[in-house]
A and B are shown apart, each in its own frame.
Chain A
Amino acid sequence: MKYIDEFQDPELARRLLDDIHAMATRPWALMEVCGGQTHTIIRHGIDQLLPEKVELIHGPGCPVCVTPLEVIDKALEIAARPDVIFCSFGDMLRVPGTDRDLFRVRSEGGDVRVVYSPLDALKTAQQNPDREVVFFGIGFETTAPPNAMTVYQARKLGIRNFSLLVSHVRVPPAIEAIMTSPSCRVQAFLAAGHVCSVMGTAEYPALAERFQVPIVVTGFEPLDILEGIRRTVGQLERGEHTVDNAYPRAVRAEGNPAAQAMLADVFEVTDRSWRGIGTIPASGWRLSERYREYDAEHRFSVENITTREPAACRSGEVLQGLLKPHECEAFGTTCTPRTPLGATMVSSEGACAAYYLYRRLGTTPTPQEASPVA
C-alpha cells in the first residue's frame, strides 16, 4: 500500500537492523521523544530486534500522559455543566481526574463528544448557538496549529459560544529539562517528526551543541524508526552530535511557516506543568491576550482549581527514562489499562500501556483482563 507498506518492508528492515548491529560497539541510550514512536517501536517489536547495546528510553512525548491532573479536573468541571457541549479527541475521555473521567461525566448526563478535528467542535458551536461549546486543546506542536486556527476562525466568524481549554506543550524545553536532570542517562534523541514538520529544526542545533547529543528527526513507520536509530548510533559511534533529518519526506528545515505564524498570533509561550516532570519554564502555550475571551478556563472561572496528586505510581520515572514500564512493581498486576495507576497506562501511546499491550509475555493476565464475554 502506497506510503504504508513501503515503510514496513521486512527485508529493508532486516538490512537496517544488520547495519545497526554492525555499527554498535558500545552501550548507547537513545530517547524517542514521541509517544507515537513508542507505540510503533513496541507494536512492531523493534526494541526486541535491536542489539542489546542499543537501549531505547521512552520519552515524555505522549500528550495524554503529560497533561496535568488539574487540567483534567478543569475539563471535568466544565464538561459537567448543563449548558456545555464538551468536545475532545477520543484518548482524553478515559484519563482519570481526581475522582472521575469524561466517560463518567457523560454517563452522569454531561454532553461529551468525541471529535476528529477542532473544526468539528466549531461546527458544533455554530449548530448549537444556545449552548457553550468547549474543545479540549491538548498536545504538542503538532496539534497546536489546528487548534489555533479554530480559535482564529471562531473570532473571524463571530462565533461567541466557542472556547478552548488549552494545555499545549513544546518539545525543546522538555529535552532541556531531561538533559539537565542529574539522573539523566540519555545520550541521543530521536526527535518527533510531526512536531518538526510544523516547527522545523531551528530549535535543535543549540540543544545538540549544549548537551553534546545527536538529535535525529525521525518518522513513525518501522523503517523510519530504524533509519533514525541507524543514523543516531552512527553519530554516537563517530563522536558526533549534529541535528540530522531522517524524515525529509515530511520535514523541512524551516517547518511550516504558515502554521508557525498562526501559533504566534493566537498563542503565547507560558510556563507549563508536565505530569511526571513538573513545571518547565516556557514549555507551553496559552491563548494570547487578543484571544483571551476564547479561553475556557477564564470563561468558566476554573483557573483556581489546583490538584495535589496522591502518591500512586512511578510513571514520572518512566516518562524520564529512569525506569522501564515492566520494571515497575505495579506493572501488569495492580496497574493495567483497566485499572491505571497513571496516565502512562491510560493512553494507547503511553509507554506503560504499549508495554502492557504488546510485551506482557512474562506476566499473567488478571482474571478481569482476560474474561470472556457473551
Chain B
Amino acid sequence: MPTVDISGWTCPTPLRDQPRVVMGHGGGGALSAELVQQIFVPAFGGEVLAQLGDSAAVSLGGARLAFSTDSFVVRPLFFPGGSIGDLAVNGTVNDLAMSGARAAYLSCGFILEEGVEMPVVAGVADAMGAAARTAGVEVATGDTKVVEAGHGDGVYINTAGIGLIPPGVDLRPQRVVPGDVVIISGDIGVHGVAIMSVREGLEFGVEIESDCAALGGLVETMLAVTPDLHVLRDPTRGGLAAALCEIATASCTGVVIQERAIPVPPAVANACAILGLDPMYVANEGKLVAFVPREHADAVLAAMRSHPLGAGAAVIGEAVETHPGMVVARTPLGGTRVVDLPLGEQLPRIC
C-alpha cells in the first residue's frame, strides 16, 4: 500500500463561461440571471426592464399598469392537475398578481409542431379558455406559427398580459425592511414533483396533482386587509429558495427561515428524499410568498387562510438586519444553513 501523496494531485480548471445555451440557462437560477443581465438588459436598455420584476409596473395615460410575458415549454402537455394551457394562463395572471394587479387581458402566441394531433391543440385551447374564465381574464389577441416536425415539442405557448395596479399598492423587493414577516400561501414543491412523476415515469406511491392556480383572488383578499404589503413572489422555477434569494438580494436585507415551519406535503418530501432534491428548490405554480409588515402579519395570514388558495398559509420566517442579501434557514435540529440561489436546474443525486 503506497502512502497517499496529495502534493501531486490537482483538480480541473473550471468552466467559467458556456459558449452555447445550456438547459441551466432556463432553470431560473444563477445561469438564467447571467443570461438576462449580460445579454438582454444591455441589449434592450430601459429603466423598467432593469427592475427585473416578475412583471413590469408602467404608467400609461394616467393609469398604472402591470405588464408581463411568459413562455411555456412544459413536457408532457397534460399532467395530473393541469396542462400547458392552464399554466399559460395562470403563469402570466400570477406574474401580474405579484404586482398587485388583477389581470385584464392576455395575448396568446402558439408555436405548433407539424404533425401534432388536432385534438391535442383543441384540448390545450379548451384548457386555456377554462382557466381564463376562472381567472376572470380575457384572451384578447393571439398568433399562431407552425414549425417543421422535429423542431418543437408539440405545443409551445407564449402569453403576455396587462392589468391595473390599484391605487396605494406598491409591491417590490426594495420595500422590504427588517422585521417584515415572511408568509407562504401553502404546500411547496407540488407542481415540480407532479411534473417529474409523469415526465420521468417515477412512481411515488400516490398521484401528486399540480397546484396550478390563478392567484389574483388571493392577492385581492390580502390587499383588502392592507394595501401596504411589501413584496409578493410566485415561486415558480427555482422554487421558494430562488424567490427568497432574489428578494433578499434586491432588498439588501437578510432573511431567516424556520425550516420546520415550511409546509412540505409528505408526498413531496418522499419524492425529494428519493431523488436527493431539496423541496425548497422545486417549482410551484399556485403559491405565493409574501413579505408583510409585522403589524399586519396576523390579519393578512388570517385573510389568506380564509381563501381556498391560502388555506395552508404559514408564517415561515422574517427579514432581518444581519447577513444582508443572504437567506439563512434554521434547521429543525437547531443548526443553520445558507439557502442559495440555485445554479441551474436541480439534478438528482447519484446516491
**Which A residues are closer than 8 A to B by beta carbons?**
1, 4, 8, 10, 13-14, 36, 42-49, 63-64, 69, 72, 89-94, 96-98, 100-101, 103-104, 106-108, 114, 116, 138-140, 142-143, 176-178, 180-183, 194, 222, 275-279, 281, 309-313, 315-317, 320, 322, 335, 337-343, 347-349, 356-361, 364-365, 368-374
Which residue, B246, B249, B347, has most C-beta atoms of chain A within 10 A? B347
> Are A373 and B52 interface neighbours, CB within 8 A?
yes
Q: Which residues on A sit within 8 Å (CB–CB) of B226?
A: none
> Are B23 and A311 interface neighbours, CB within 8 A?
no
B58 within 8 A of A: no
Kindly state the separation between the CA atoms of A104 and B18 in the bound complex, as whole angstroms: 7
B341 within 8 A of A: yes
> Are A359 and B337 interface neighbours, CB within 8 A?
yes
**Closest beta carbon of chain A to B42's beta carbon, Å:** 14
Known: A10-B333, A143-B350. A373 touches B32 (CB 8 A): yes
**Closest beta carbon of chain B to A93's beta carbon, Å:** 7
Can you list 16 residue pairs at the A/B interface with Cβ under 8 Å? A43-B331, A46-B335, A93-B347, A94-B344, A94-B347, A103-B23, A178-B4, A281-B1, A311-B10, A312-B12, A316-B11, A322-B6, A348-B276, A370-B325, A371-B341, A373-B238
Kindly state the separation between the CA atoms of A359 and B30 in the bound complex, as whole angstroms: 19
Which residue, B19, B245, B351, has most C-beta atoms of chain A within 10 A? B351
> Are A181 and B3 interface neighbours, CB within 8 A?
yes
> Are A8 and B332 interface neighbours, CB within 8 A?
yes
**Closest beta carbon of chain B to A334's beta carbon, Å:** 9
0/1 interface trace, chain B 110-129, chain A, CB 8 Å (1 if under): 00000000000000000000
Kindly state the separation between the CA atoms of A8 and B331 in the bound complex, as whole angstroms: 10
Kindly state the separation between the CA atoms of A45 and B337 in the bound complex, as whole angstroms: 7
**Closest beta carbon of chain A to B52's beta carbon, Å:** 5
Interface of B is mostly: loop
Kindly state the separation between the CA atoms of A143 and B348 in the bound complex, as whole angstroms: 14
**Residue of B19, B33, B269 touching A373 (CB-CB under 8 A):** B33
Q: Which residues on B sit within 8 Å (CB–CB) of A364?
A: 325
Q: Which residues on B sit within 8 Å (CB–CB) of A92?
A: 350
Kindly state the separation between the CA atoms of A219 and B214 in the bound complex, as whole angstroms: 42
Residue in chain A with minimal CB distance to B323: A361
Q: Which residues on B sit within 8 Å (CB–CB) of A357?
A: 337-338, 340
> Are A313 and B351 interface neighbours, CB within 8 A?
no
> Are B351 and A142 interface neighbours, CB within 8 A?
yes
Q: Which residues on A sit within 8 Å (CB–CB) of B334?
A: 10, 14, 45, 49
Q: Which residues on A sit within 8 Å (CB–CB) of B336?
A: 45, 48, 361
> Are A369 and B30 interface neighbours, CB within 8 A?
yes
0/1 interface trace, chain B 307-338, chain A, CB 8 Å (1 if under): 00000000000000001011010011111111
Kindly state the separation between the CA atoms of A340 and B325 in the bound complex, as whole angstroms: 22
Q: How many A-B residue pairs have C-beta atoms within 8 angstroms? Tell me.
A: 233
Given A279-B2, A370-B341: 6 more A-B contacts, CB < 8 Å: A14-B334, A63-B350, A92-B350, A108-B20, A278-B9, A349-B350
> Are B13 and A91 interface neighbours, CB within 8 A?
no
Residue in chain B with minimal CB distance to A181: B4
Known: A103-B23, A180-B3, A374-B52. A49 touches B10 (CB 8 A): no
> Are B325 and A45 interface neighbours, CB within 8 A?
no
Which residue, A93, A101, A180, A372, has most C-beta atoms of chain B within 10 A? A372
Q: Which residues on B sit within 8 Å (CB–CB) of A342?
A: 11-12
> Are B332 and A373 interface neighbours, CB within 8 A?
no
Kindly state the separation between the CA atoms of A90 and B324 in the bound complex, as whole angstroms: 32
B15 within 8 A of A: yes
Kindly state the separation between the CA atoms of A364 and B252 in the bound complex, as whole angstroms: 12
Kindly state the separation between the CA atoms of A157 and B249 in the bound complex, as whole angstroms: 55
B250 within 8 A of A: yes
**Residue of B19, B37, B53, B333 touching A44 (CB-CB under 8 A):** B333
Kindly state the separation between the CA atoms of A178 and B2 in the bound complex, as whole angstroms: 10
Known: A10-B333, A320-B4, A361-B326. A1 touches B11 (CB 8 A): no
Q: Which residues on B sit within 8 Å (CB–CB) of A356?
A: 338, 340
Kindly state the separation between the CA atoms of A370 and B348 in the bound complex, as whole angstroms: 23
Kindly state the separation between the CA atoms of A320 and B7 in the bound complex, as whole angstroms: 12
Which parts of B1-57 form the interface with A (CB within 8 Å)?
A: 1-6, 8-16, 18-24, 28-34, 36-37, 52-54
